[in-house]
Amino acid sequence: MKKRLIVQGQLSDAQLATLEHLFEVTQLSKAMSLDAPDNRHYLAEAHGIIGSGLAITPELLDAAPKLEVISTISVGYDNIPVDELTRRGIMLCNTPDVLTETTADTGFTLIMATARRVVELAEWVKAGQWEASIGPSLYGSDVHGKTLGMVGFGRIGQAVAKRGALGFGMKVLYSNASPKPAIEQQLGATRRELDELLAESDFVCVTVPLTAETERLIGAQQFALMKRSAIFINIARGKVVDESALINALENGVIKAAGLDVFEQEPLSASSPLPHMLNVVALPHIGSATHETREAMTQRAVDNTRLALQGKPPISLVNKEVNQ
């Protein structure tokens, strides 16, 4: 008898066909909560769940006694109780590696767009205000040769740093990560304590995962340590930053500008001032959102799920102790 799989996310026809050949597949709309009453009978028989933005709770797990694997189409899994899954012997898989370069592209796009005031000036042209050469009030800031401070230095942080060091001659500092001697040698990077990095950097780019330790890692005290000319970039998670402190820092000239792909609340509240501030470039969490990368992410999730339900080690297993 085939194992049963719940799909709550967008897969290609070919990917879905692969899964349907191997498993009994039930597709659920993302508009409906996974643990909605109408879905309980699917959960009761499910051996696997694959999808994006999965909201997993202990109560949902109670309703899925046969569950063997959850495969999230993302690198982050802060909305999934990993310890609870491990205790129950349920594998959690994610999709690292395949989105590293694309997310780093987004990070450096924000660095460039914010420093050179690209969005603000593009809107200025659209509004018909370009009637003469621009003056100093509309000048941006150089990126090349500046100091780039990476808060977090995993795969994505290192990829952003490579773009800065090798492409723009930037001096790279990093914090909130273990020593990385190989990448230090390659890029001339230097490890710093967070407070030192904030004080020295022209651009501060956050890439740490969201954990209990990193929630609100950057707040009023940290912004006060930065240069008044500093530009702040966040491609990590919104809750890593105290958003009210960020708004205050931007409104009061504590820092110069910010490029943001993530926010405390997503989508952004209509009442948020951030998208209306001239010194902010705000994106709708597009970090990995290209056709090629999203296809690669869903394929990795499909492969993880297939291997796990066939009794083989998944490619990207988060809680490796389950498979020991």
Spell out the per-residue pLDDT of the chain, length 324, in tens. Answer: 899 999 998 899 999 999 999 999 999 988 788 988 889 999 999 999 999 989 899 999 999 999 999 999 999 898 899 999 999 999 999 999 999 999 999 999 999 999 999 999 999 999 999 999 999 999 999 999 999 999 999 999 999 999 999 999 999 999 999 999 999 999 999 999 999 999 999 999 999 999 999 999 999 999 999 999 999 999 999 999 999 999 999 999 999 999 999 999 999 999 999 999 999 999 999 999 999 999 999 999 999 999 999 999 999 999 999 976
* Residues 238 and 113 placed together within one structural domain of the fold: yes
Q: Is residue 319 part of a domain?
A: yes
Domain of residue 314: give its range: 4-97+292-323
| Residue 24 bears catalytic tag | no
The pTM assigned to this predicted structure is 0.92
Continuous H helices in the chain: 13-22, 40-45, 58-62, 82-88, 100-115, 118-126, 155-162, 168, 181-187, 194-200, 220-225, 243-251, 291-309
Distance of CA 148 to the CA centre of its chain: 19
Number of domain units in the chain: 2
User: Which of 4, 47, 163, 237 is an active site residue?
Assistant: 237
Q: C-alpha dihedral over 278, 279, 285, 291, to 10 degrees?
A: 80
149 within a domain of the structure (yes/no): yes
Same domain, 316 and 245: no
> CA 202: distance to chain centroid?
22
Q: Is residue 287 part of a domain?
A: no
Task: Judge if 137 and 214 occupy the same domain.
Answer: yes
Same domain, 186 and 218: yes
**Same domain flag for 310 and 162:** no
The Cα-based distances of 75 to 37, 289, 298, 304 in angstroms read 29, 13, 11, 13
Around 324, how many Cα atoms within 13 Å sit in the side-chain half-sphere? 6
Q: Which long-range contacts (CB under 8 A, 24 or more apart) does 60-63 make?
A: 60/34, 60/35, 61/85, 61/88, 61/90, 63/35
- Specify whether 144 is catalytic: no
CATH code: domain of residue 164: 3.40.50.720
Which residues, in sequence order, are CB contacts of 8 under 8 Å at separation 6+?
27, 28, 29, 30, 34, 49, 50, 51, 52, 54
Tokens coding 201: 């950097």
Q: Are residues 300 and 176 in the same domain?
A: no
Both 65 and 145 in one domain: the answer is: no
- Residues 120, 51 share a domain: no
Q: Give yes or no: 285 in active site.
A: yes
- 263 and 173, same structural domain? yes
Catalytic residue among 20, 84, 285, 295: 285
Determine, yes or no, domain membership for 154.
yes
Do 175 and 299 fall into the same domain?
no
